Amino acid sequence: MSSSEVRAAVPGDGACMQTFMDEIFRPFQRPEQRRWAQTYLWALIHVSGKKTPRRMALAKPLPSAAAHGLHQFINASPWEWAPVRRRLARRVAATTAPHAWTVAELIIPKRGEHSVGVHRRLDTATGRTVNCQRALVFFLASGSQCYPVGWSLVLGGTWDSDRERRRRARIPGSEAGRTPADHVIGYAAEAAAQPQLPRVPWVLDLTRCDDAAGVLAGLARQRADVVCEVPPDHPVLLTGQHTPVVTSVSALMEVRHARQTHVLLRQTGDGRVRAVPVHTYAGTVAGTRTGIGDDVGAPPYRILERPDPDGRQPPRYWLTTLTDHRVEEVLRLARSHTAALSSVATLRRRFGVLDFEGRSFPGWHHHMTMASAAYVYQRLTCAPGGAAPPPEAPPRTPAAALTGAPN
C-alpha cells in the first residue's frame, strides 16, 4: 500500500496539520516520508491504546496494510531526527514565551534484553532493580506548560563496550561512554548555538546526580544561568576569605548569622494562607569542580534553603546564578521541573513513549521525535483536544531527578 493511499484514508486536521507538517518536516527529502510522517503523527494523536505500528494500523480509518509502512518509516527510513527537533524547539520558542530549559528522566520498563539500550539498573526513586531503557527528555518551559523538544538515550555496560551489539543496533560511535551529565551539557551547547532559541535559565534537579558539580561546571562554561536543586552535602567554595574553604550547602546554611530569612505567603488547599520561610546565604559561593571557582569568569552562586513547612521532610536546597532575582522568582522558575514531570506523565499516557518495540538506535529516536511532534502539535495548534489539559500528578515509577548512578 502506498503512502498516498494511506494518507487519503486519514481524516487529518485540515490546514492546521498541513501547515505544521510543512514547517516541522521540511528537512524530509522525499514526499513519501512526509506522508508517512503525517500518518504516524495523526495516529499518535487519535489512536487510543498502545502506539505500535501494528496496533495503530488496526484503528479506523487506517487500513491494516499500513502497519508495514509505519514500521518502515520509523525503523528503516534514513531520516535525521535532529533537524526535526530543532524546528520543534523553534516553533515552541516562536509561539510561546519560554522562561526555562529543564530535563526529566524517563525509565522505560522492558521485558527482554534486545531493545536498544536496555539493561538492569537500580531505580533510585523506588529502590527496585528494573530491566529498562533510560532516557532524558529536554523541555522548553512556558507558563505552566513544558514542551518536549529533545531526547537522549543513556547507554551503559555492554552497550558501550560490545561492538557487535552496537553495530546491530546502529549506535553511532559518538554515543559511547556518555553520562547523563554529558547529555545535558551537550544539549545545552547545541541549544545555545541556535540564535532562534532563547537564552533562558536551566532548571535541573541534581539531588541524585553523581556528577552534579560536573553539570554545573559545564553549564558555567557556556555562561548559562541555572536554578538547580542540589543535595544537602553538595560542596561549595567560600572565596571571600584569605584561604578558600570548601563546605556543604547544608553546613553553610546552619550558620544562622550567615543567612537571611524571607517569608513567602502560600495559599493552602483549604483556602488558608500559610507563611513559608525561605533562607538565603548572605553572600555568594563558587563551584568546587576543577576550573570552577578559580577561573575569573566563574559564576557566583546564591544558595536557597526551603525548610519543610510541616517539619516532616528535610530542607531542600538550590544553587542559582540569578543572584539579583527575588526569592519568589527563583522558586517560581524551580517549579518548571515539576511541570516537566507532569508532561512526562502525559507523554507516557497519551503519546506512546513506552511503546517502541524496535531494536535500533535510529528507530528509538524516530519514535520519540514523533511523540514530541504530536505533543507540541496538539498543544500549539487547533488540533482536536489541543487545549492544555490540567496538570497531572507525576508517576512514581520513573525517577524524577536527573540521576547519574552507575548503570
pLDDT along the chain (407 residues), means of 10: 55 76 92 92 92 89 87 95 97 96 95 89 80 96 96 92 93 92 97 95 94 94 96 89 84 86 78 84 83 60 90 92 95 95 95 94 98 95 50 37 46
Lookup: cell for 69: 509502512
Query: Would you say residue 394 lies in a domain?
Result: no
- Confidence (pLDDT) at 297: 60
Radius of gyration of the chain (CA): 23
Same domain for 91 and 62? no
Query: Would you say residue 366 lies in a domain?
Result: no
Bridge partner residues of 153 (DSSP)? 135
Query: Would you say residue 315 lies in a domain?
Result: yes
Same domain for 93 and 72? no
Give me the sign of the Cα torsion angle 171, 174, 177, 181. Answer: negative
Query: Would you say residue 349 lies in a domain?
Result: no
Residue 317 to residue 319: CA distance in whole angstroms: 7
Answer yes or no: are the C-beta atoms of 225 and 249 closer than 8 Å. no
Same domain for 120 and 178? yes
Lookup: cell for 162: 560490545
- H helix runs in 193-276, sequence order: 212-221, 249-253
Same domain for 25 and 162? no
165 burial type by CB count under 10 A (0-12 exposed, 13-18 middle, 19+ buried): middle
Same domain for 125 and 157? yes
pTM score, whole prediction: 0.88
Query: Would you say residue 165 lies in a domain?
Result: yes
Lookup: cell for 356: 517502541
- Confidence (pLDDT) at 393: 41
- Confidence (pLDDT) at 1: 52
Lookup: cell for 304: 536557597
- Confidence (pLDDT) at 394: 37
Count of the separate structural domains present in the chain:
2
Domain that holds residue 99: 83-340
- H helix runs in 117-261, sequence order: 158-161, 163-169, 180-192, 212-221, 249-253
Lookup: cell for 358: 524496535
With the CA atoms of 267, 272, 273 and 274 taken in that order, what torsion angle do they form, in degrees rounded to the nearest 10?
Answer: -90
Residue 84 to residue 91: CA distance in whole angstroms: 11
What CA–CA distances, in Å, run from 11 to 6, 37, 40, 206, 279? 10, 14, 13, 44, 56
Same domain for 28 and 127? no
Residue 318 to residue 316: CA distance in whole angstroms: 7
Last residue of a domain, one of 340, 362, 392: 340
Residue 279 carries which DSSP code?
E
Same domain for 149 and 287? yes
| 35: helix, strand or coil | helix
Same domain for 36 and 20? yes
Last residue of a domain, one of 312, 340, 368: 340
